[in-house]
Amino acid sequence: MSEVIAVTHPVTPPLAKTANVAAKASLVVLLLLALLYPDQGNLRDKAAGMRAVGYPLVSFTLPLLWWTMWRERMSFPWLADLLITITCFTDILGNRLDLYDHVVWFDDWMHFMNTGLLAVAFILLTLPRSSGLLRTVERALAFGATSAIAWELAEYFAFISRTSARAFAYGDTLGDLALGTLGAVVGAVIVYRLWQRDRLCDSTVTLPRERVRA
């Protein structure tokens, strides 16, 4: 008895693939420049070394997992991977352009947007499009709130605890956590609505498995 294995067909728009590759390449370039010229990257005393290690790990973990564990079963989740990469790229770009220090609301926007993007990526990777609104929001809150807390802990121990900013860290941390959680909820609602309107496709379409007797 032989078995015909299910075939996967990518349905991700080409734009997401191109944007993902470009974002990863740009991220690596910006990180190298930040390490070589920390003052120009506006990352002096802002854990440039930790970012240089952590952001590539975050951005390339999904491709590594897919290549080693999932590539025989599914096509590459380009959209989810792009959303993850954007969170790292926009943080480095924001520092490079010195937006954190010159645009009052930029830090708040980053916590809202990036936590939301990460939550959406997690939803796309772990939930089917048939999921209900409550289940989608629950998944977003579980991941979004956890990632927001993890970021604040890393941020505090990386550089805030050693600067005068620690005097104002409590209020800022509460605001960042609230914005990150709100971003996760908004992201979940958007994904659910797009699923309902058939505007957001799965990253793969898997045909049913067929068995053929020899």
Helix-strand-coil percent breakdown of the chain, rounded to 5? 70, 5, 25
pLDDT for 154: 77
Q: Whole-angstrom Cα distance, residue 91 to residue 131?
A: 31
pLDDT tens by residue, the chain, 214 residues: 444 333 333 445 678 889 999 999 999 998 888 888 877 766 666 666 777 788 899 999 999 999 999 888 888 999 999 999 999 999 999 988 889 888 999 999 999 999 999 999 999 999 998 999 999 999 999 999 999 998 888 777 765 555 655 556 666 778 889 999 999 999 999 999 999 988 776 544 343 444 434 4
Question: Residue 73: its pLDDT value, please?
Answer: 85
Q: What is the pLDDT of residue 111?
A: 94
Residue 43, pLDDT score: 67
Letter string b/e over residues 18-56, b meaning 16 or more CB atoms within 10 A of that residue's CB:
ebbeebbeebbebbeebeeebeebbbeebbbeebbeebe
Question: DSSP code of 214?
Answer: -
Is 196:66 a contact under the CB 8 Å cutoff? no
Tell me, what amino acid is at 83? L
